[in-house]
Structure 1
Amino acid sequence: MKKSLTALALIAAGVAAAPAFAQDGGATNGWFVNGNVGQASVNKGPYDDSDTGYAVNGGYRWAVSPSALLGVEVGYNDLGNIKLKNVFNSDPVVAHDKSHLHGWTAGVNGHFNFTPNWYASARAGIYGWTGHGVNDNGTAPVRISADNTDWYGGVGFGYDFSNNFGVGLNYDYYKADNKGLDLSTDMWSVSAEYRF
């Protein structure tokens, strides 16, 4: 009970402090660029592993109300074979024997402020990917390469420090399945966005 009251007091203090960082206006049309880094996890076929993944995106949003922006985006991601923990040992940082998924995205997105600073986000679109891994066809495993156009989607929430800059936490799903190779990947990430 005491921990719950402490948590509620901290949340209330954060909400009370938010106006100190309040934006100087409502939503405005404009270009944006953002980047995500996080944990990419695949749990399909012969794979049950997670690696460091990253994504970069850019696009344009239109203000549809003082607190809502809708837009279009394009981006690139690498979700498969980077092992940051190996920076501190003699193992390779890029693990070529692992599953590997990367590709281009194109879609729509939304940025919705529910207070002047706190926001929720959503995105979805097409995912043109290339992947390498072991197929799951029930016979002797064979390492193959595949590519296809599938889909992606994600949600997030975060804090806008100003009309131009915000940080967030995100969940994204990238569908990638072709030729018996299923590299569909979940990614939990932190992001930073700059709006022009």
Structure 2
Amino acid sequence: MSLSTLSRAPLVATLAVALGVAAVAPAANAADNERGFYAGAGVGQSLVDEGGYDDEDTAFSAFGGYQFNRYFALEAGYADFGELESRAVASDLEASSGYLVAVGSVPFTTNLSGYAKAGLHRWDLDSSLPLVIGNRDDSGTDPTYGVGLQYRFNDTVALRGEYSRFEIEDADLDLAQLQLRFDF
């Protein structure tokens, strides 16, 4: 082995370590950016086709959560389903919901991911479903679940398209919406 080969070995090793650190540092920083609080709002359509109800209306939502890593978050939110008209009875259905869900994400690319969520929601109706005798206010707790796609524009802003189902007693209320998410 020549002297010139020995003197290059430390230089090559130093360059290899420097390139390795440079490659790992952005990944570690990106992992830190995937954790933290987020909040957002959405608008879309609520849909019901149960009993005497077959209608849709504009719906709004607000949500917030904590992203533990790029694969898991906990999220709480509020959804106002609007006013859904009945075709069989003389009362309209006005519904809202507060929910808590676990969100599992699968990244497809750096900016695009899919997610599924499931949890419980506390719903409130200001008139009962036709399945319940009488015309009174009603509330309860039932499961909710949904799927969506998220496109991240940068580290703080993402657009989500989501389809969720909210079970209400023996009925299903669906919500299709676009949401903006802001990470802190």
Instruction: State the TM-score, normalized to the length of structure 1.
Output: 0.69
Conserved 8 A contact 2:76-2:100: yes
Aligned to 1:192: 180
User: Structure 2: how far apart are the matches of 1:127 and 1:38?
Assistant: 18
Correspondence for 2:7:
none
Q: Contact 1:53/1:82 (CA < 8 Å) preserved in 2? A: no
Q: Which amino acid aligns with 2:162?
A: N
1:25 aligns with 2:53: no
Q: Which residue of 1 aligns with 2:156?
A: 164
What is the aligned-residue RMSD (CA, Å)?
Answer: 2.4
Please state whether the residue corresponding to 1:187 is helix, strand or coil.
strand
Q: Please, what TM-score do these two structures have when normalized by structure 2?
A: 0.73
In the TM superposition, what is the alpha-carbon distance from 1:98 to its structure 2 partner? 2.0
Q: Is the 8 A contact 2:65 2:75 kept in 1?
A: yes
Larger RCO (CA under 8 A, 6+ residues apart):
1
Cα deviations by residue, 1:47-95 (Å, 9 ceiling, x for unpaired): 00001111111110111xxxx3311111111113289xxxxxxxxxxxx
Amino acid at match of 1:40: S
For the pair shown, the structure with the greater C-alpha radius of gyration is 2
Larger helix share, 1 or 2: 2
Q: Secondary structure at 1:184's aligned position in 2? A: strand
User: Using the alignment, how far apart are the partners of 2:73 and 2:95 within structure 1?
Assistant: 26
Alignment partner, residue 38 of structure 1? 44
Alignment equivalent of 2:143, drawn from 143, 147, 151:
151
Counterpart secondary structure, 1:150: strand
| C-alpha separation in 1, matches of 2:181 and 2:131 | 41
Instruction: Return the letter of the residue paired with 2:181.
Output: E
How many residue pairs are counted as aligned between the two chains? 151
Q: Which runs of 4+ in 1 moved over 3 A?
A: 24-27
Verify the 8 A CA contact 1:32 1:194 in the aligned structure 2: yes
Unpaired stretches in structure 1, ≥5 consecutive residues: 1-23, 84-96
Q: CA deviation at 1:187?
A: 0.9
In 1, the alpha carbon distance for the partners of 2:135 and 2:96 equals 17
List runs of 5+ in structure 2 lacking aligned partners. 1-28, 86-90
1:126 aligned residue: 120
Give runs of aligned pairs for residues 15-164 of structure 1, distance below 5 A.
25-26=30-31, 28-63=34-69, 68-81=70-83, 98-137=92-131, 142-164=134-156
Identity over aligned pairs, percent: 25
Q: Is the Cα–Cα contact under 8 Å of residues 51 and 131 in structure 2 kept in the other structure?
A: no
